[in-house]
């Protein structure tokens, strides 16, 4: 196996200088995004450094309770991030549906992947469990954020169409069918598009990391195929749960539209 190239301090500094040059170009061109780039770079650096120390401790001290605690923190952060990403106001009922969909969809996919696909023993092995959970939760968070935005916008902009359908005798599910379908499409299409271009247009991050670490490209491809199937399943299941339950929060017990 080829020896892993260690990134030295000056090489890491060179990477930050590259971003600094980018910020200067953005500033010169009058694009008001240099602060966002700087803040995101600092935040990313601090979060990854902290994560590195946490992972080292977990890898050296594997325990199911610590792994489950880490999983709970990841879920809470993801759900909170969804609430922040959606610019429109969310009802308390809709927030509960988002949390339920995220937890149920990602946990179901993660457990299936851990227990059936990888057949991991013990199931809580942090070296596998935490990275896989992060990929499933992260992609599901992005997908459901898009789905929530499209659903809420659709219910607001197409309010009259929904009310008209209700007056003509349609059920709430039928009246909002087009809106929920659009929400699902908006959530799942980015994942599908990344799958279509994978391997030809770009090499995904996990596969690239494994190859750089000296693992055989064939082994890396096997893992990447499996995790991508897990991701698309997690995103789809999470969003399906959300749209099938979420639209109901816009109607009262008498099937009247409320917004």
86-143 per-position pLDDT tens digit? 888 888 999 999 999 999 999 999 999 899 988 888 999 998 899 899 999 999 999 9
pLDDT of amino acid 182? 93
Model confidence, pTM = 0.84
- Each as own residue / partner, the long-range contacts of residues 76-82 (CB below 8 Å, 24 or more positions apart, any chain) are 78/102, 78/137, 78/138, 78/140, 78/141, 79/103, 79/141, 81/141, 81/145, 82/141, 82/144, 82/145, 82/148
Q: Which residues of 48-77 are buried (b: 16+ CB within 10 A; e: fewer)?
A: eeeeeeeeeebeeeeeeebbeebbeebbee
Mean pLDDT of the chain: 87
Q: To the nearest whole percent, how much of the chain has pLDDT over 70?
A: 91
Which of the four pLDDT bands, split at 50, 70 and 90, describes residue 259? Answer: low
Q: To the nearest whole percent, how much of the chain has pLDDT over 90?
A: 47
* CA 1 from centroid of its chain's CA atoms: 33
């Amino acid at each position: 196996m080829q020896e892993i190239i260690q990134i030295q301090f000056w090489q890491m500094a060179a990477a930050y200088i590259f971003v600094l040059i980018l910020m200067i170009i953005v500033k010169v061109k009058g694009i008001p995004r240099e602060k966002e780039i700087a803040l995101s770079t600092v935040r990313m650096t601090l979060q990854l450094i902290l994560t590195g120390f946490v992972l080292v401790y977990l890898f050296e001290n594997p325990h199911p309770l610590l792994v489950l605690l880490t999983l709970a923190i990841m879920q809470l952060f993801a759900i909170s991030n969804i609430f922040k990403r959606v610019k429109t106001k969310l009802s308390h009922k809709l927030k509960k549906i988002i949390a339920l969909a995220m937890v149920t969809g990602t946990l179901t996919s993660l457990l299936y992947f851990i227990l059936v696909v990888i057949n991991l023993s013990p199931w809580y092995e942090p070296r596998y469990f935490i990275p896989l959970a992060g990929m499933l939760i992260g992609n599901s968070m992005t997908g459901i954020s898009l789905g929530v935005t499209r659903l809420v916008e659709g219910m607001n902009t197409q309010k009259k169409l929904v009310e008209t359908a209700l007056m003509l005798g349609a059920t709430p599910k039928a009246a909002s069918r087009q809106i929920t379908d659009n929400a699902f499409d908006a959530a799942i299409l980015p994942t599908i598009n990344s799958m279509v271009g994978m391997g030809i247009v770009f090499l995904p991050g996990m596969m690239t990391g494994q190859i750089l670490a000296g693992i055989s490209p064939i082994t890396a491809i096997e893992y990447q195929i499996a995790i991508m199937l897990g991701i698309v399943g997690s995103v789809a299941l999470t969003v399906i749960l959300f749209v099938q339950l979420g639209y109901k929060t816009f109607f009262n017990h008498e099937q009247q539209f409320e917004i």
